[in-house]
Amino acid sequence: MGTAPAATPFDRVIVLHGFRASPQHHWFPWVAKTVAGAEVVALPDSASPDAEAWVGAAVNAIGALGPQVAVVAHSLGCVTAVRAVERLAAVTAGGSLGAFVAVSPFAQPLTRTGDEGLDAFAADGLGPFLAGADLPGAGPHLGAVTVIRSDDDPLVAPHLSDAFARNLQARTVVVPGARHFLAAHGVTALPEVVDALTN
């Protein structure tokens, strides 16, 4: 017998993946199965992300801001979510998500990681994602914000996630030894996301 999906205060939980990922990767299938109303969005061409395409897809997926909608995002998906919420708030004269859970977020240039593909994207493709992202301005439209990071992330330095959290006055949850929360790092379930959505 399967366990019933965890109930949260939200009718819809939109999940945005990061660079080189898909709804089938990492802990996203677990969230889709574990959280009632969760929908993992496939963002276009994740090996070569385009900021306008990603933000547009996130805007379409979220649809409308409201207390019954939460967003969970990972890595590059986090600043994508912020940009999407800024855009939705501008066209709907306000409104707010119920909650935003950001896993390994950043909104500043990345330090070199030694991952050739990621470093090339960080050098050439990341700028348009970061340009104009106004975290303090977006904050009132994001609802209750929780940042989840590890203490040993090799791809997004923990201080970048901490800066993201400070700019949004977010609660921070540190998961020791989880690295960048990838399946390759042993993370295929993330109960801290459910905790953030239910508390």
Asked whether residue 3 carries a pLDDT value surpassing 80, the answer given is no
What is the pLDDT averaged over residues 188-197?
97
Separation between Cα atoms, residue 23 and residue 14, nearest integer Å: 11
Asked whether residue 89 carries a pLDDT value surpassing 90, the answer given is yes
Among the listed residues 46, 5, 3, 2, the one whose alpha carbon sits nearest the alpha carbon of residue 23 = 46
pTM check: above 0.85: yes
Q: For residue 177, what are the CA distances in angstroms to 91, 100, 152, 196?
A: 41, 23, 6, 19
Among the listed residues 85, 91, 78, the one whose alpha carbon sits nearest the alpha carbon of residue 181 = 78
Asked whether residue 36 carries a pLDDT value surpassing 60, the answer given is yes
Asked whether residue 2 carries a pLDDT value surpassing 60, the answer given is no
Question: By the 8 A CB rule, do 70 and 14 touch?
Answer: yes
Separation between Cα atoms, residue 166 and residue 30, nearest integer Å: 28
Q: For the chain, which residues make up each domain, given as ranges?
A: 12-198
**Residue range 12-198, CATH number:** 3.40.50.1820
Asked whether residue 1 carries a pLDDT value surpassing 70, the answer given is no
